[in-house]
Amino acid sequence: MKIIPIQVLEDNYSYILIDDTTKEAAVIDCVDPIKILNVVSQTGAKLTSVFVTHHHWDHCGGNIELVAKKPGLAVSGADARIPDINFVCKDNEEFKLGTLVVTPLHTPCHTKGHVCYFVTDHSTNEKAVFTGDTLFVAGIGKFFEGDARDMYRNLFHVLGKLPDDTWVYCGHEYTKTNLKFALSLEPHNEALMAKWAWCQDKQITVPSTIAQEKAYNPFLRVNEQTIQLITGKSDPVEALATLRELKNAFRC
């Protein structure tokens, strides 16, 4: 499979996902349809689908215009608030993009209808997950329509259960700010220091991997004693809630 990150708005990502075998393509989180269509036209792929992670405008605000320009697109999601949605994907119910296997993973918290899309290419054994505003590089999304227990489930019982070599493609370029916060908590974390050094000259910092996130993302480390001592909470869900509050108040 081929994945093309597209920077849109101030700090958002859309993605083009292409099946190398059939040349079918999907856009993940369309907000700028003109930019999307220009990129797709350069690839020679045929756009057949839209995968929407959640209903916020900066992730699906281009749906109506895109569908108008490309009638017949399958628009997938799990929230009735998504414009032009015509396929409601159920949790863990696989479907295909060409030969690629797509597994929707319901991850309610940032919004009640949030979905991450886990994609496998059996011809190459590549794996990727599009995490929207649930999991970022070194961070997570805000709890707009859920709580810490919801997010803990998402991180540890859903995304954290994916293979370690799964590529992580998130919805925003928040990496440097997230890493600054993480370094304020664990300044001697070697994986964290290495990621910070690596990203300094990068405009695009995706993808990471599930294994990398487990090593340096503080929200995936709430079972570690270092994070529990910082938050003053031995219960990992409570530690996650406190960590989210600390991040909300953090200023670089």
User: 32, 55, 121, 172: which is the annotated catalytic residue?
Assistant: 172
Kindly give, in sequence order, each residue whose CB lies less than 8 Å from that of residue 81, ignoring residues fewer than 6 positions away: 55, 113
Report whether 132 contacts 29 (CB < 8 A): yes
32 in active site: no
Kindly give, in sequence order, each residue whose CB lies less than 8 Å from that of residue 75, ignoring residues fewer than 6 positions away: 49, 50, 52, 63, 67, 82, 84, 85, 86, 87
What tokens does 220 get? 């995936």
User: 54, 55, 114, 150: which is the annotated catalytic residue?
Assistant: 54
Q: Which sign, positive or negative, has the C-alpha torsion 89, 141, 152, 145?
A: negative
User: 19, 32, 133, 150: which is the annotated catalytic residue?
Assistant: 133
59 in active site: yes
CA distances from 92 to 89, 104, 158 (A): 9, 5, 10
Q: Could you give the angle at the alpha carbon of 161 between the alpha carbons of 217 and 186, nearest 5°?
A: 15
56 in active site: yes
133 in active site: yes
55 in active site: no
165 in active site: no
84 in active site: no
User: 59, 79, 114, 121: which is the annotated catalytic residue?
Assistant: 59
In whole angstroms, what is the distance from residue 41 CA to residue 196 CA?
35
In whole angstroms, what is the distance from residue 69 CA to residue 77 CA?
20
User: 32, 55, 56, 114: which is the annotated catalytic residue?
Assistant: 56
Hey, what long-range contacts does 222-228 have (CB within 8 A, 24 or more apart)?
222/152, 223/156, 226/185, 226/186, 227/185, 227/186
User: 29, 58, 79, 121: which is the annotated catalytic residue?
Assistant: 58
Closest CA to 115 of 133, 127, 136, 97: 133
The residues assigned a catalytic role are 54, 56, 58-59, 110, 133, 172
